[in-house]
Amino acid sequence: MATNTYVALRNETLAVATNSVTFDLTGISGYTDLELVISSSNATADSTILATVNGDGSGTSYSFFYMNGDGASGSSGSIANNNVGVLGNHNTAESIMTARFFYYTNPNVYKTWTYQGGGAVTGSQSGVCTWRSFSAITSITLTTTSGRNFTAGSRLSLYGISNIGGTTPKATGGDVYSDATYWYHAFRGSGYFVPNQSITADLLVIAGGGSTSSASGGGGAGGIQYATSQSLTAQSYPVVVGGGGVLSTGGGAGAKGSNSTFGSIVTANGGGAGTRTGGATANGGSGGGVANGNTPGTASSGSGGTGYANAGSAGGGGSYGGGGGAGAAGSTTAGGAGLNTWSSWASATSTGVSGFYAGGGGAVGNGDILGYPGGSGGGGRGGSSSSGSNAGAGFPGVQNTGSGGGGGGIGAVSDGSGASGGSGLVIVRYVRA
């Protein structure tokens, strides 16, 4: 007899009270069903947890049936056409609720879920709800009636359910995805990767991109380190995802991006800052761009595996150069290109920009022109320049791509402010078999 297995996909503990929590299911695959586990309370009065699927909250496409019991009496009821689904009671005392979403991507059935649970105030409740649509469920938004909040400390977890006759992930940590061949664990923030057995994995580690300042070159992309066929054992590996360099509003340099690491195996260096005069802060994973006549930032991608990074540009003719990218050096008219070597990883995990990572921040020209583009992969565009008035600000690097921020524009009255770098990313990949 086949046995269902549960894989933790999302775990969230609310830091502040909120009335709305959304689970984005984009990129999650390989499961037949999903299960939500909710441990929550609200501070004001008892209410009902509501579920809106794929943002469909304006029609009459939900139907449900419920049963209640508190040890002394029971009740039941149904609604045929409603604008929102139901997920059970929400008490002033802590309540526990589970909901199973069956065949959530099957194009041949209406999407149906059962729920059950209860709390100290209203007793137990169970029911079944149907969203009358053949569309795959791509998001689930939870709210409560009368605008009452989930209190801080409420815990919400999402699990994928698959049959053990197929394959299941061999580790926990990050956001879990799969394609026909591999499991992917994508870390958009720091955490732990924990195999439950010995595995051989490929590691893609991208550091945070550099930021920029007013009238500066483009920020350098974070270094990329790619380590193949790494033997990992059943232990906890700390994963650090480097932040992008912080926006600087003053003159001079921006800030370097922060390093990303996977245990002690791989380190990717943060991208160099975009600056006017160069110097140590311009050096980084990929180097930051600088003003014409100065020394641009140099590249040092990191350690562990194969590294990818390039130098920034010094610009020309009074301009400020673009930051280096993982695939090319910065130039006088653009940030260095990122790399799409891992486009299949990007597609499987819904990360990157059109399959690219780690683009350099865009350059800034001298005169009345728009800023130059950032490198493919998420580099920010440089700020606009003006010979007669105020200049425009640079654009930030895209988050979780390791891309550099665009340089701040040059103006006769005031220079445009700089831009922050994009945060990094760590992805672990191993075969499904």
Average pLDDT (310-334) is 94
Query: Which bin fits 153, alpha (ψ -120 to 50), beta or left (φ > 0)?
Result: left
Type of residue found at 401: T
Q: Is 348 helix (H, G, I), strand (E, B) or coil?
A: helix
Residue 47 CB coordination number (10 Å): 19
In angstroms, the CA 34 to CA 37 distance is 10
Query: What is the pLDDT at residue 249?
Result: 63
Query: Which bin fits 261, alpha (ψ -120 to 50), beta or left (φ > 0)?
Result: beta
In angstroms, the CA 170 to CA 234 distance is 10
Q: Per residue in 349-387, pLDDT tens?
A: 999 999 999 999 999 988 888 899 999 999 999 999 998
What is the pLDDT confidence band of residue 164, given thresholds at 50, 70 and 90?
very low
Residue with tokens 């005069």: 277
For each of the domains in the chain, give its residue range(s) and CATH number, in order of start: 4-168 (2.60.120), 181-433 (no CATH)
Q: Is 403 helix (H, G, I), strand (E, B) or coil?
A: coil
* CB distance 297 to 279 below 8 Å: no
Of the ranges 65-74, 91-100, 188-197, the best mean pLDDT one = 188-197
Report CA-CA distances (Å) from 19 to 120, 142, 248, 305: 21, 8, 34, 45
- Distance, CA of 417 to chain centre: 26
What is the pLDDT confidence band of residue 44, given thresholds at 50, 70 and 90?
low
Least confident residue range of 69-78, 118-127, 173-182, 348-357: 118-127
* CB distance 426 to 239 below 8 Å: yes
Query: What is the pLDDT at residue 355?
Result: 96
What is the pLDDT confidence band of residue 32, given thresholds at 50, 70 and 90?
confident
Average pLDDT (59-85) is 87
Q: Which two tokens stand for residue 417?
A: 């402010």
